Structure 1
Amino acid sequence: MQEFPTPGEIVELGAEAIVQRWKKDVKRARQLVETARSSIGLTEGLPAAKIEIKTLLEQYDMFARQLEEILAEVERLLPQIPGTKEMLTVPGVAVVTLAGFLAEVGDLRGYEHGQQIIRLAGLNLKENSSGKKKGKSSITKRGRARLRALLFRAVVLMVAKNAEFKALHQYFTKRSQNPLKKKQSIVALCGKLIRILHTLGTKQVRYDANDVLGPVREAQLQKTA
């Protein structure tokens, strides 16, 4: 976009010239030119549009550089916090996730158990009821929204990449008694992740898959009994 930001410039240059500058294969360059020919992009006010595109690209480059600097500083500071090395042994928990988690909760030694952090995140359950009628339970959302969102995003990825969380998610959503909906399972696993991080961070022990799969192992034993 820096060299040929408008469809007209792409068509004028042609596929061969784009390949030389773009350093990609001819087929993709030709596809780009054909797309540009059928584009309904601006034909008037192009100088102003090009200035705007240039400005946006410069801002993007600046933000990218700043992000790299912040991540480098996070990677430098994180090892200074006790327990971070152990918490990073959880498959699927990256430096950025852990840094965001600790930024929201502070010193883990200030919590006696993970349930306190679950309440801080607003992930503890409440019962929706009126009078004598009992309703369904839902999370309170009375805690820190950023912490809740960070945990939710992390667990969604872990369900795909962490074998234990994937197994737990399948168990929660497919068990014969009281199966959970997918979102409910993710919320339950957010609490699980909090308790795991609290344990690893305060006791400074490494992640153990056998400790995570308690409900699944118990269900398997009941089936074979």
Structure 2
Amino acid sequence: MKLFVGIDVSSKDLKVCMMNGEGDTLQSFTVDNNLEGASHLRDQIVAVADKLPSKEIHIGLEATSVYSWHLAMFLHEDEALQKRKAKVFTINPKLITKFKEAYVDLDKNDHIDAWLIADRLRFGRLPMTMVMQEQYIALQRLTRMRFHLVHNLTREKQYFLTNLFYKCSAFTSEVDSSVFGHAITELLLEKYSLDEIVAMDVADLADYLKDHGKNRFPDPERVAKCIQKAARASYRLSKVVEDSIDLILGTSIQSIRSIQAQIKELDQAIERILSGIPNTLQTIPGIGPVYAAGILSEIGDITRFDDQAALAKYAGLVWRKHQSGAFDAEDTKRIKSGNRFLRYYLVEAANSVKNRDPEFGDYYRKKYKEVPKHQHKRALVLTARKLVRLVDVLLRNDQIYTPRRKVNAAKD
């Protein structure tokens, strides 16, 4: 007999429902979401399990951001629960929401979500236990923070470009060098007016770019001429507006540099932790420490997944089937669920791998040519799905990637 424990987690308390295999509610109560409350919950689970007696305990709680993490780890690591073969599941809230729709006349009360979670556990067919080892959790915190910073950096750069159009409306169309290079951002920080840039001697502007760009411009004089051409072609601002835009651009540049420095610091920390986790993902051309860490930290122990298809579903890299009779739709949508962090790192890794591995490069180009629109996005996601098969094989077999030798990955 199994004991099913559903827990509705909030920042303040835990609403608990214990259920047997027949769907009968054995206990229903509320405790505080803290160490004392979790300890009391553990004691109640053990007491009820010993009375049944139960051969196994399934404990489920929704993945509610940080609020469920401490409890999940506490229950997963507790010795008394481990002796009673307890498994802890952190469940996607969407799964519970869909499950709730099957109940038409369900009364509303404070413990209904806990009851639903327990009942969902009773039905079984859950993907996997979701609690990972501490080394993966430590790495996961870093890679998810990096994900957050990368998206912040993208937003800040977009905001910068918007304000740059006020300052120099023709810049992006006339200058083919990156506006975020050190030399050009330094030039913008000097707060030169457009007329002052136009009036500069081309040689002096080229020397400025050469010095601040650390000789990275292959032709600094050509870039200088492009900048002056953009300055001449741009609209002029009044002094008061130009001063405001200069301040905004300067502040935005400092924000961009600060985020970039933070990402660099995180990358170093990620590499240090990853060095203590044996893996073969970095043998794949194009996958360095950051991408390997992002993938590993979300997967954890590969044996949590039955096969590469289960891993792909967890990442949200599967497409819904639409079939009726003899009709089988070719144009289907990717599922919206899945681990967005794992999907992000797989897609980013695939983008890098396709540029360095001929097999993945050929596959990407083949998929790119198959459709008339959204070619890159579609081809890249499909390449990431192909990468899932390789990742699964390498981790499951502790195998080093050898491009000339085909690995025996399972076919879809």
The interval holding the TM-score normalised by the smaller chain is 0.7 to 0.9
Match of 1:219 in 2: none
CA drift of 1:41 comes to: 4.1
- Aligned partner (choices 230, 233, 247) of residue 51 of structure 1: 247
Is the 2:287–2:352 Cα contact (8 Å) retained in structure 1?
no
1:166 correspondence with 2:361: yes
Distance across 2 between alignment mates of 1:26 and 1:135: 56
The answer as to 2:205 corresponding to 1:9 is no
Deviation, 1:67, is 1.1
Q: How many pairs does the alignment contain?
A: 208
Among candidates 342, 360, 367, match of residue 147 of structure 1: 342
1:18 aligned residue (176, 200, 205): 205
Shift of 1:62: 0.7
Cα distance in 1 for partners of 2:383, 2:401 equals: 16
- Is 1:190 aligned to 2:384, yes or no? yes
Q: Is 124-133 or 189-198 further displaced after alignment?
A: 124-133
The reply on whether 1:100 has 2:294 as its aligned counterpart is yes
3-state SS of the aligned residue for 2:205?
A: helix
TM superposition shift of 1:92 = 2.0
For 1:137 and 1:31, locate their aligned partners in 2 and report how far apart those are by CA, in whole Å: 45
Residues in 2 aligned to 1:125 and 1:59: alpha-carbon distance in whole angstroms: 39
SS at match of 2:401: coil
1:108 Cα offset (Å)? 2.4
Does the Cα contact within 8 Å between 1:164 and 1:213 map onto a contact in 2? no
Q: Structure 1 residues 110 and 68, CA, compared in 2 at 3 Å: closer, same or farther?
A: same
Instruction: Give the conservation status (yes or no) of the 8 Å contact 1:6–1:41.
Output: no
- Please report the TM-score for the alignment, with normalisation by the length of structure 1: 0.75
Identity of aligned residues (%): 24
Go from structure 1 to structure 2 and tell me whether the alpha carbon gap of 1:170 and 1:61 turns closer, same or farther (over 3 Å shift).
closer
- Flag the structure with more relative contact order, 1 or 2, with Cα contacts below 8 A and sequence separation at least 6: 1
The one of 81, 102, 118 aligned to 2:312: 118
CA distance in 1: counterparts of 2:368 and 2:253, whole angstroms: 44
Structure 1 unaligned segments of length 5 or more: list them: 175-179, 216-225
For residue 152 of structure 1, report the CA deviation from its aligned partner. Answer: 2.9
8 A Cα contact 2:316 2:343, kept in partner: yes
Say whether 1:80 aligns with 2:267.
no
Match of 1:218 in 2: none
One-letter identity of the residue aligned with 1:198: D
CA RMSD in angstroms, aligned pairs only: 3.2
- The 3 A distance-change label for structure 1 pair 136 and 28 is closer
**Cα separation, partners in 2 of 1:55 and 1:148, compared to 1, 3 Å:** same
Displacement of 1:65: 0.9
Larger Rg: 2
TM-score when normalising by structure 2:
0.44
Relative to structure 2, which stretch is displaced further, 23-32 or 128-137?
128-137
Structure 1 position 132, deviation (Å): 7.6
Residue number in structure 1 paired with 2:262: 66
CA distance in 1, matches of 2:207, 2:362: 49
| Contact 2:291 2:348 (C-alpha < 8 Å) held by counterparts | no
Match of 1:42?
A: 237
Cα separation, 2, equivalents of 1:64 and 1:162: 28
The residue type paired with residue 274 of structure 2 is: L
* Shift in alpha-carbon separation, 1:132–1:114, aligned structure 2, 3 A: closer
Cα distance in 2 for partners of 1:151, 1:143 equals 12
Q: Are the structure 2 counterparts of residues 163 and 9 from structure 1 closer, same or farther at C-alpha, using a change threshold of 3 Å?
A: same
1:126/1:137 contact within 8 Å kept: no
* Cα separation, 2, equivalents of 1:172 and 1:212: 21
Q: CA deviation at 1:76?
A: 1.1
Superposition deviation, residue 202 in structure 1: 3.4
Residues 34-84 of structure 1: CA deviation (Å, up to 9, x unaligned) = 33122214233222222111111111111111111011111111121121x
Q: CA deviation at 1:168?
A: 4.2
Going from structure 1 to structure 2, the CA distance change for 1:156 and 1:66 (only over 3 Å counts) comes to closer
